[in-house]
């Protein structure tokens, strides 16, 4: 999802990535292991008390440098791929301040320096990035050779990260502090692309000798916080990394629990068990003190994906019937209680330029009576509104004449089946600018024949041509216009039905400052986050 999307993830049935879980912490100078977290089903267990300097629930963690309390954070999505940055887990790492890329995105969607202090375009296919002085969590320097090797490994991963959908490139050390990246075809948005959480730069120790897509971010990243312990899919501990190039973090560490139940996350914040809780359900928002709610407009759209290769929805007329049956305004005002806008397209109101450039879909098939056609509709419960959205859709589709079986699971247990096309329809929440910040990339990754996150299993030559034209546009305005034209072609297939554009509610304890939620949902905890 995927983070997120909900989370995002490359498209292909696969087993979890081969991430090692070392018995020892990767930094040799550490003298103590963090103890396992105390875990109970609804966060009734114990976090460290304020100011204790403990890393786990029993106070055996490290207060790096002896100052700054540890943050206690509840995240909605547990690791789905053993914290591999190449799939859904990439945003977990970026939101916790663990990983960084060469670039980052600002609030206007422009690329800004991160590990690269500057860059310039040498010709239409070649870019030169100059690195800042930085150190990996394992104590080794961030060198051009290490950066080039890290980018190369991301390019070799299969399935490819969504940010690299249809993109071939080489990265080489270029002397001094420079890295030269050369793309097989002109790529005018490469600096945006390299901001993707899935293209995080890791040290050579992250890759080992296993499969090309096996990668271990534990102790090998560059951010203000370093992973020191992972307890399966239930918890993790991070310590402040004192060698961070951006300055010493104000918190000594972060204790994380992965809690799929939205009510449990809200309750943990309300009772003081956590300092931050992401994705507070709209139904729980009113139970929180107004001062602890942060509502952020995002580029996330919840959509109904209709599997264009399934028995029922390979017929465009039945896809049109399903689309006609959906009333998105009911979802925005009912399920989301006004914390969302009815779906207008793949891009929502947070993508401000899209509203004046939207093109009306054309060429849609004529809807036919479903005649009792049977389908399986799937949704995940990490985002608590989605099961309710799916239930409303079930009722609307059944009223139109479909027979609907509803299947709801936690995302990590649903992902592989969804990506393999084992459902006729799927309700998912996708941040359209998460992967690259480039509006065209989400179209290429989600709706083309070679797309890495093609939940609708769409393979339409008209769509591929429209997206290809948008990808070739170098001028920003022309690229936006072409993206909106491609959006219209995609919507014309009725393989995706935009439902709502979301505003995300984050629970933040009153004593906590410096939280960094953004419209791309890439950041949450940073060097300045403190309690």
For the stretch 278-325, pLDDT in tens is: 999 998 998 999 999 999 989 999 999 999 999 999 999 999 999 999
pLDDT at 213: 59
Q: Rg of the chain over CA atoms, in angstroms? A: 22
Mean pLDDT of the chain: 86
Write the pLDDT tens digit of every residue in 201-239: 999 999 976 566 589 999 999 999 999 999 989 999 999
Q: How far apart are alpha carbons 127 and 172 in whole angstroms?
A: 11
- Looking at 3.40.50.300, 1.10.10.10, 3.90.600.10, 3.10.105.10, the CATH number of the domain 297-503 comes to 3.10.105.10
pLDDT at 33 over 60: no
pLDDT at 20 over 60: no
Instruction: Pick the closest to residue 157 from 4, 374, 12 (CA basis).
Output: 12
Q: How far apart are alpha carbons 133 and 383 in whole angstroms?
A: 39
Q: How far apart are alpha carbons 115 and 147 in whole angstroms?
A: 9
Percent of the chain with pLDDT over 90: 70
297: helix, strand or coil: strand
pLDDT at 8: 40
Q: Do the Cβ atoms of 332 and 498 come closer than 8 Å? A: no
Give mean pLDDT, residues 376-382. Answer: 94
pLDDT at 27: 36
Q: How many of the other CB atoms lie within 10 Å of CB of 338?
A: 10
Q: How many residues does the chain have?
A: 531
307: helix, strand or coil: coil
In angstroms, what CA-CA distances link 283 with 174, 288, 335, 367, 503?
54, 10, 8, 35, 14
pLDDT at 44 over 80: no
27-41, 79-93, 157-171, 418-432, range with the lowest pLDDT: 27-41
pLDDT at 59: 33
Ordered strands of the 178-183 beta sheet? 116-123, 126-131, 178-183, 169-173
Q: How far apart are alpha carbons 363 and 344 in whole angstroms?
A: 18
Any idea which fold 103-206 has?
Dipeptide-binding Protein; domain 1 (3.90.76)
Give mean pLDDT, residues 22-46. Answer: 35
Task: Tell me which of 102 and 9 has the higher pLDDT.
Answer: 102
Q: How far apart are alpha carbons 244 and 249 in whole angstroms?
A: 8
pLDDT at 82: 87
Q: Do the Cβ atoms of 323 and 492 come closer than 8 Å? A: no
Q: How many of the other CB atoms lie within 10 Å of CB of 219?
A: 24
Task: Report pTM.
Answer: 0.75
Write the pLDDT tens digit of every residue in 321-378: 999 999 999 999 999 998 999 999 999 999 989 989 999 998 899 999 999 999 999 9
pLDDT at 210: 58
Q: How far apart are alpha carbons 36 and 61 in whole angstroms?
A: 10
Q: How confident is the model at residue 109 (pLDDT cuts 50, 70, 90)?
A: confident
Give mean pLDDT, residues 481-495. Answer: 97
Q: How confident is the model at residue 65 (pLDDT cuts 50, 70, 90)?
A: very low
pLDDT at 7 over 70: no
pLDDT at 526: 96
pLDDT at 390 over 50: yes
Domains of the chain, by residue range, sit at 103-206, 297-503
pLDDT at 30 over 60: no
pLDDT at 90: 94
pLDDT at 60 over 50: no
pLDDT at 16 over 70: no
pLDDT at 244 over 60: yes
pLDDT at 54: 33
Q: How far apart are alpha carbons 284 and 251 in whole angstroms?
A: 28
Percent of the chain with pLDDT over 70: 86
Instruction: Pick the closest to residue 279 from 133, 394, 429 (CA basis).
Output: 429
pLDDT at 398: 98
Give mean pLDDT, residues 267-278. Answer: 96
Q: List CB contacts of 228: < 8 A, sequence separation 6 or more.
A: 25, 30, 34, 55, 62, 218, 219, 237, 238, 239, 253
């Amino acid at each position: 999802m995927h983070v997120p999307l909900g989370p995002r993830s490359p498209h292909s049935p696969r087993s979890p990535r081969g991430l090692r879980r070392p018995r020892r912490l990767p930094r040799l100078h550490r003298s103590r292991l963090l103890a396992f977290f105390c875990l109970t089903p609804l966060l009734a267990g114990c976090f460290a008390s304020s100011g204790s300097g403990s890393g786990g629930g029993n106070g055996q963690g490290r207060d790096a440098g002896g100052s700054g309390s540890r943050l206690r954070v509840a995240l909605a999505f547990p690791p789905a791929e053993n914290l591999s940055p190449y799939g859904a887990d990439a945003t977990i790492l970026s939101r916790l301040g663990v990983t960084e890329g060469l670039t980052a995105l600002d609030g206007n969607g422009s690329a800004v320096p991160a590990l690269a202090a500057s860059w310039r375009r040498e010709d239409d296919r070649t870019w030169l990035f100059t690195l800042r002085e930085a150190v990996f969590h394992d104590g080794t320097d961030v060198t051009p050779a290490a950066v080039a090797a890290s980018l190369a490994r991301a390019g070799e991963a299969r399935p490819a990260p969504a940010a690299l959908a249809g993109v071939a490139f080489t990265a080489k050390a270029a002397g001094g502090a420079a890295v030269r990246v050369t793309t097989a075809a002109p790529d005018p948005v490469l600096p945006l692309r390299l901001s993707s959480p899935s293209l995080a730069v890791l040290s050579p120790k992250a890759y080992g000798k296993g499969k090309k897509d096996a990668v271990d971010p534990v102790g090998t990243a560059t951010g203000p916080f370093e992973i020191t312990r992972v307890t399966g899919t239930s918890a993790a501990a991070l310590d402040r990394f004192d060698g961070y190039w951006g300055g010493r973090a104000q918190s000594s560490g972060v204790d994380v629990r992965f809690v799929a139940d939205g009510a449990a996350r809200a309750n943990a914040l309300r009772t003081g068990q956590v300092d931050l809780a992401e994705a507070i359900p709209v139904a729980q928002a009113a139970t929180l003190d107004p001062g602890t709610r942060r509502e952020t407009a995002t580029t996330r759209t919840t959509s109904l994906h209709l599997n264009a290769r399934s028995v029922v929805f390979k017929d465009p007329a039945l896809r049109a019937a399903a689309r006609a049956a959906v009333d998105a305004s009911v979802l925005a005002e009912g399920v989301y209680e006004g914390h969302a806008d009815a779906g207008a397209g793949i891009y929502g109101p947070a993508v401000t330029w899209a509203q004046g450039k939207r093109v009306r879909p054309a060429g849609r098939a004529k809807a036919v009576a479903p005649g009792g056609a049977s389908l399986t509709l799937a949704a995940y419960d990490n985002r608590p509104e989605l099961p309710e959205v799916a239930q409303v859709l079930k009722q609307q589709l059944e009223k139109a004449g479909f027979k609907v079986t509803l299947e709801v699971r936690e995302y990590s247990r649903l992902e592989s089946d969804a990506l393999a096309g084992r459902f006729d329809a799927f309700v998912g929440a996708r941040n359209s600018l998460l992967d690259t910040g480039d509006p065209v990339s989400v179209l290429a990754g989600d709706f083309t024949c070679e797309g890495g996150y093609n939940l609708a299993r769409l393979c339409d030559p008209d769509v591929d041509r429209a997206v290809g034209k948008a990808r070739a546009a170098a001028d920003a305005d022309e690229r936006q216009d072409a993206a909106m034209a491609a959006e219209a072609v995609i919507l014309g297939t009725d393989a995706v039905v935009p439902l709502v554009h979301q505003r995300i509610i984050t629970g933040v304890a009153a004593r906590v400052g410096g939280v960094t939620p953004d419209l791309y949902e890439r950041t949450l905890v940073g060097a300045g986050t403190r309690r």
